[in-house]
Amino acid sequence: MQAARHLTTSTVKHAVTELRVPVPWGEIRGKVWGPEHGRPVLCLHGWADNCGTFNKLIPLLPKEHRYVAVDLAGHGFSSHRPPGVFYSFPSYVADVCRVINALQWDRFSIIGHSMGGNVAGMYSALYPEMVDAVVLLDSYGFLPTDMKEIAKVMKQGIDGLLQFEKKSEEKKDKIYTYEEAVKRLLEANPALSKVSAQILLERGLVQTNGGVTFSRDFRINLKNIVRISLEQSLEMQSRIQASVLVILAEDGFEKLFAEADQKKFTSPLLQGYRDLNHKVVKIPGDHHVHLNNPECVAPLVTEFLHSKAAALKETPKL
């Protein structure tokens, strides 16, 4: 695996580096904040977003940490997966492994928003020795599916991909003006402020003749065919060795996106975190509170990262 490459850019207040990690089908891109030898933190964005989702939060977090926020495959500036390939949580976990190998980190923390939190949960369960702290931003770490629904959803995902491939042979990407693209994103994500939408579109659009197109791979809209049940989710949750902080928005994921019967999954997952001595807090705000109002989120994350760093210093090395 080639090492990660850093292209330095700078802003008035914070030096930010652009990250490029080669992968077999192209590259995974991202942004880096903080000192080179700072305590490493990987930041994973939500579905259809990109690493710009952390632009306003990271500058408010402890300066002694090294934050790497990636565009997950098919999002932002990262390459789309090869033709014929599905997007799924295990695939994203494999991408995290590729990024961590390129960065040569041996232990790190993760901040994950929404879908990024689900990738964080699965990675932390599969590679528990690699992760010391996890922050789930309006995410439960896992997205269980009712056992009776799994077959139906898998079939929908497979049929959806085959239909997409048929259509995309003659379909061209829709071209927008910048203003139309902002309007389109705000209609699809009512939780975003206009400023937040513009931040996400810095990496969410590609210039083209006659305007802009969205950079994301539209296959991410298809049903995820890799599903796990509540029982499997709780088993995975029990394998996480890291300290976990769950920050839920009062008008967030559960209100906006979860199906009516989702509570039968979210309640046991939250109870599972509490039973394992992890922390669950609720704050005012919506699903993108970390981007719209980062000052509500930053103190909680800062205290958590500081307490984890202090605990690690006190732990004698074997």
pLDDT tens-place string over residues 55-68? 999 999 999 999 99
List, in order, residues 6 or more apart from 27 with CB less than 8 Å away. 20, 21, 78, 79
Nearest residue to 240 via CA among 131, 143, 161: 131
Extract the tokens encoding 136.
Answer: 């789930």
Mean pLDDT across 201-206? 98
Q: pLDDT tens digits for 219-260?
A: 999 999 999 999 999 999 999 999 999 999 999 988 765 556
Confidence check: pLDDT of 13 > 60: no
Q: pLDDT tens digits for 38-53?
A: 999 999 999 999 999 9
Extract the tokens encoding 293.
Answer: 């109002």
How high is the pLDDT of residue 263? 75
How high is the pLDDT of residue 253? 86
Phi-psi region of 312 (alpha: psi -120 to 50; beta: other; left: phi over 0): alpha
Confidence check: pLDDT of 14 > 70: no
How high is the pLDDT of residue 156? 97
Q: pLDDT tens digits for 137-168?
A: 999 999 999 999 999 999 999 999 999 999 97
Whether residue 193 lies in the annotated active site? no
Q: pLDDT tens digits for 280-305?
A: 999 999 999 999 999 999 999 999 99
Q: What percent of the chain has pLDDT over 90?
A: 85
Q: pLDDT tens digits for 106-124?
A: 999 999 999 999 999 999 9
Confidence check: pLDDT of 264 > 60: yes
Extract the tokens encoding 73.
Answer: 């495959």
Tell me the C-alpha distance between 34 and 252, whole Å. Answer: 29
* Residue of 79, 88, 109, 114 marked active site: 114
**Domains contained in the chain, CATH given:** 5-144+228-314 (3.40.50.1820)
Phi, psi angles (nearest 5°) of residue 127: -130, 60
Q: How does strand 205-208 pair with strand 65-70?
A: unpaired
Mean pLDDT across 211-226? 96
